[in-house]
Structure 1
Amino acid sequence: MNSLLYRVLAVAAGGILLAGCESLSSFQIPSFGIGGPATAALNLESDPPGAEARLSSGATCRTPCALPVPLVGEIAVTFTLPGYQPQTVPVRTVRAESGQGDPEFAAASVQLEPNPVYVELAAVPPPPQKRRPNTQRPRASQPTAARTPRTAPAPAPAPAAAPAPATVAPATPLPPQ
C-alpha cells in the first residue's frame, strides 16, 4: 500500500513539472555557452523582392527570407539584384533594456538590430550615350569637269531667231576686161 502511495505522488509531481515546463517555452533560455553561441532569426526583406541577401558569415537566401544569425558581435548583410545597385546594411547585437521582459533574464536577453532588415534597391542608371563618330566615308574626289553641280541647272538659252531667208539673185556675167 505504501508503494502505491509513492507511485501516485510521483505521477502527480511529474504532471505538475510538465505543466510548469509548458509555460517556459514563451521565452528564450540562455545557452550558457553549451553547444556554441545562441542564434536568432534575422528577417530580410527588399524592394523589389527576389534580391540575394548574403551575410558576412557566408549564408545566403532570396528575399523575403529569414536566416539564423549568431548573437555575437556585428555582421553585414549585402543585398544584390541584377539591374540594381548593391546595398550593405550592418546588423549588430544589443542587450535588451532592463524594462523589457523578466528582470531575472534581462542580462541574458540579446536582440538583433535592425530586425527585420529592409532595403529599397536603387536601379542602376543607364550608361551615358557615347557620341558615335562620323562613320560615313569621305566620297572619292571626282574630276572637276565630271562633277555635277549641286545647284539647279541654269535655264537653257533661248534659241536665236532664225535668219530671214536670203533671196538669191541670179548671177550676172561680169564684163570682160
Structure 2
Amino acid sequence: MRLSCSLSRMRGNLLDTLLNSPDLQTIIGLREWIALPELGVVGLRAKIDTGASTSALHATDISEFKRNGERWVRFTAHLGTLVQSRHRCEARLVARKIIKSSNGHVQTRYVVRTLLALGDHLWPVEFTLTCRKTMRYRLLLGSKALMDGKWLVDPARTYVQEKPQTLTLSGAQ
C-alpha cells in the first residue's frame, strides 16, 4: 500500500514536471482536422494512428505523368463522403512502396510528399495514395509523420487542435 502511494506521488510529480516544461510537446487527439495547403486541401478529418508507420490519403483516378523530366501523379483526393468533397490534385512522385495493410493485404502504392498543417504546425509528410472508401477517415496519419518528437497523442481526446482555416501556398494546385 505504501509503495503504491509513493509511486502515485512520483507519477504526479513527473507529470507536473512534464506539463510545466518549456519544451512541452504539442498534445493532439486520436482525430484531428488537418490541411494539405500545397494540394489546396483544407479541413480534412484525419485519424492519428501511431500503430501504422506510413500515412495514407484516400485517392482515386491516379495517373502518372512527366513534368520537366520528373515523375508526377495526378489524383482525386476524397475529403469526405459527398461527391462535392472531391478535389483534383497533382504532386511530384517520391516513390512506389509495397505496403502490407493491417488485414494482411499487400499493395503497391504511389508515395507523394506534401506539406501538412495541424494546429499551428506546418511540415512535410509522405503519404501513400490508396482507396480508403470503406474507412471512416480519408486520411490516416502514421507514426513516421510524427517522428520529430513534437507530438504527444492523447487517445482519449479528439480535435484538440484548432481546425485549419483557408490556407494556400504559392504553387498549390
TM-score calculated relative to the size of structure 1:
0.23
Q: Which has the higher contact order (CA 8 A, sep 6+)?
A: 2
Higher strand proportion? 2
